């Protein structure tokens, strides 16, 4: 288990490291089931100092979103693989329980078997494919 030191909205929360993520980050699963990509310097005991810009952290603007940035995978060069969900497609989230029923828009493929989904709040999460349901045009 790890303890998160930042950003401020997540400071003190604990979770389990799921694996590496892009840009010197690790995917951390919290007790709610949500998985966020947390920068290494925001994991207590990592021994990594925050970048100079983060060290002089100022209070965020009211419109700032604290969602972890979604790591998107590079498109396949072969063109043979058709994506299960397309960028711009409207979807509903089936799980984890804390997000079930929320609707969003697919940004693109993410690491492993997940897609980056942007919600109305502007937050972007990587959601496993099995937890995404495409909305028909009538429902979107």
Paired tokens of 62: 């009211």
Q: How far apart are CA 80 and CA 76, in angstroms?
A: 8
What confidence tens digit (pLDDT) does each residue in 25-48 have? Answer: 888 888 888 888 888 888 887 767
In the numeric block, the tokens 């690491």 are attached to 111
Instruction: Report residue 57's pLDDT band, with 50, 70 and 90 as the boundaries.
Output: very low
**What does pTM read for this prediction?**
0.45
In the numeric block, the tokens 């299960």 are attached to 84
* Contact partners, residue 80, CB within 8 Å, separation at least 6: none
Q: How far, in Å, are 90, 94, 99, 120 from residue 137 at the CA level?
A: 8, 18, 22, 17
The yes-or-no verdict on residue 8 having pLDDT over 90 is no
């Amino acid at each position: 288990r790890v303890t998160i030191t930042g950003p401020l909205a997540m400071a003190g929360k604990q979770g389990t490291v799921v694996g590496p993520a892009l840009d010197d980050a690790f995917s951390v699963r919290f007790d709610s089931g949500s998985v966020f990509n947390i920068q290494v310097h925001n994991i207590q005991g990592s021994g990594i100092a925050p970048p100079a810009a983060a060290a002089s952290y100022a209070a965020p603007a009211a419109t700032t979103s604290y969602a972890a940035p979604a790591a998107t995978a590079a498109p396949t060069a072969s063109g043979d693989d058709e994506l299960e969900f397309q960028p711009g497609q409207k979807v509903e989230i089936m799980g984890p329980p804390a997000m079930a029923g929320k609707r969003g828009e697919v940004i693109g493929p993410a690491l492993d078997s997940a897609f980056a989904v942007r919600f109305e709040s502007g937050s972007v999460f990587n959601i496993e494919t099995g937890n995404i349901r495409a909305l028909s045009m009538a429902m979107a």
